[in-house]
Structure formats: C-alpha cells, structure tokens
Amino acid sequence: MFVDCRCGARNSAFNPACVACKAPIVEDTRRKAARTPSLASFVEGAVVGRFKLTRALGSGNLGRVFVAESDQGDRVALKALHPHLLSSEDARARFVREARALREVRHPAIGGLIDAHEHDGVPVLVLELVEGVSLRQHLDTHGAMPAPMAQRVLLQMTEALHALHRAGWVHRDVKPENVMLVSPEPSAPVVRLLDFGLVRALVPSSSLDARTAAGVFVGSLAYSAPEQLLSGEIGPAVDWWALGVVAYELLTGARPFHGATRRDIAAQVLAASPPPMAGVPAALERAVRTLLAADAKDRPSYESIRRGWVDVG
C-alpha cells in the first residue's frame, strides 16, 4: 500500500509522514477509485503473494482471516479487507492504522505483524498465526476461571495494553473474543491480544489517524467505557475499563453489564455499578471495581493495575 506525496515522493501508507518532505501522509482518493479489486483471489486454495490460503479462520471488524502456508511450510494468519468495505476510505484507513500499530508495538502477549501489502487491489495483513481458543470460547465451555489463573491472564493483558499505550495507541475493542488463550494450563496460561481493527493513535499525526473522530461510536457496547458512549475523550482509560469488564467476566462467569436491548446495556454502563462479585476475594474485587470507575480520571494507572493482579491473594 503506497501513497504518493504532493512533493513527488512515494511512501508506504504506514508512514505517518513523508520520508522526503515530512508532510503528513494523505491518501490519494483518485488513485483509490481506480483500483479494481479481484474478490475471487480470496478463497481456500488461492495463492496470495507467497502464501496459499488453506482454510478460513474467522472474521473480524475489518476483514476475513485465513490460515495460509508458504512453500517452505511457514504458517501464518492472512487478513484481507472485507469485500463490502473495499470502497470505504474509513475502512482502508483503519486497516492501515492496524498495520502501523502492530509494526510499532512488539510484545509477547500481542499477535505480531509479518507483512502488509495489497493483492489485486485488496489490502492484506500477514500476521503471526495464533492458535488456541478465545477467552469467550473458554468462558462458554468452562465458566469462570479460578482466581489465580484469571490473575495470570489479566497480568499478561495488562502488560500488552501498557506496551500499546506506551507506543501511542489505544486498542478500543478489548473483549474476550479478541484474546486468544494459547495455553490453558491453569498454573501458566498464555494469552495473545488480537484484532487491532479499531486501534487509534493517541496523538493523531495524519489524516489517517484523525478519522473516526469524536461523535462516532465504535467498539463493543458491553465493553465500552462511559466516555466512549458519550463521545468523550478517548485515551488509555477506555482500555483499562474494558480490562475491568473482562476481569469481572473471567472471575464470575457473567458480564457486569447486560440487558435485553442496547439501550439497557448502555444505561447500566453509564451507571457503572455492577453487581457484587460472589465468591471472589474482596481485595481482587476491589482491584476490578477500580477499573470500572465511571470517571476515567479515577481509574488506576498501569503500575496500580499490575500490582492488583500480582499482590492480591
């Protein structure tokens, strides 16, 4: 994915600014309109770049994901932009943001980016293949986690989010569906944070980063902080709120905010008063509830969150 700057230099769309004149990167919408994507290229058995698609893996906010394999036997996850989003400038911008964030953030608990390019006019991400079950699948099968196991999972998620925030990004879609449990061993669980399709730069550096501005809700309602619902300032605190919702669910087996309608769920989120966590140690419940403070300013810092998972119990 390349962008021609007004100065004449060609840049990767993942660059925040031109390598020659340092101007913010702005996509040429006329060039985009001239693309003629071939959707037939993305079916099982098709060859995309140096990889052959072996099976469909799933679907996320922005794209379809396939397991793919190279001639050398390397297995990866290949993500292609959804067909119905190919004409969407916003979707393409989000795809670029996802690739840029993953290139800037390397952490053991984050699924890594291997490559990013276009194939037949369709944006493609080649990602580390992370195999296992999602936290959602684990919860559906086993119910609540034992507290020590949950704490180890939450500690890894905390470290991953901290790495993302330090690099200048916010995830905005932390939920059990987007966390893969690679090893379910209770004494040593291993997780990976995935699906960065809604990632946003904390400090916009280009028109790509500025899109999806205030006033437009994105995310998963039951895991969205009050400020997301109210179109307020979006920062690391929204990810810490979502971590609190996930923590509550891992420890109790139920979501803290639910309802028959989206309005019911939103009302509960804005009230920020989840039910007591029956059977959960009091100190651990306090650690979770601090993350669910209605005011973003009242939520704890990374250091305090980390201590909550390490010191409790």
Task: Confirm whether pTM is higher than 0.85.
Answer: no
Could you identify the residue written with the tokens 């906010």? Answer: 61
State residue 28's pLDDT score: 45
State residue 44's pLDDT score: 87
Q: Which residues in the chain land under pLDDT 70?
A: 1-22, 24-40, 204-219, 312-313
Contact indicator for 241, 250 with CB cutoff of 8 Å: no
* Angle at alpha carbon of residue 97, lines to 77 and 178, rounded to 5°: 50
Judged by DSSP in three states, 81 sits in strand
Report d(CA 296, CA 313) in Å as an integer: 26
State residue 206's pLDDT score: 53
State residue 264's pLDDT score: 87
Kindly report the backbone phi and psi dihedral angles of residue 283, in degrees, each rounded to the nearest multiple of 5, phi listed first. Answer: -65, -35
State residue 196's pLDDT score: 93
Superfamily per CATH, domain 35-128: Phosphorylase Kinase; domain 1 (3.30.200.20)
Report d(CA 58, CA 153) in Å as an integer: 23
Catalytic-labelled residue, pool 74, 115, 140, 173? 173
State residue 215's pLDDT score: 44
Could you identify the residue written with the tokens 């651990």? Answer: 284
State residue 4's pLDDT score: 62
Superfamily per CATH, domain 133-311: Transferase(Phosphotransferase) domain 1 (1.10.510.10)
Q: Where are the domains of the chain?
A: 35-128, 133-311
Helix 147-166 and helix 236-252: axis angle, to 10°?
Answer: 170
Is 71 one of the catalytic residues?
Answer: no
Name the burial class of residue 218, with classes exposed (0-12), middle (13-18) and buried (19+) by CB atoms within 10 angstroms of its CB: middle
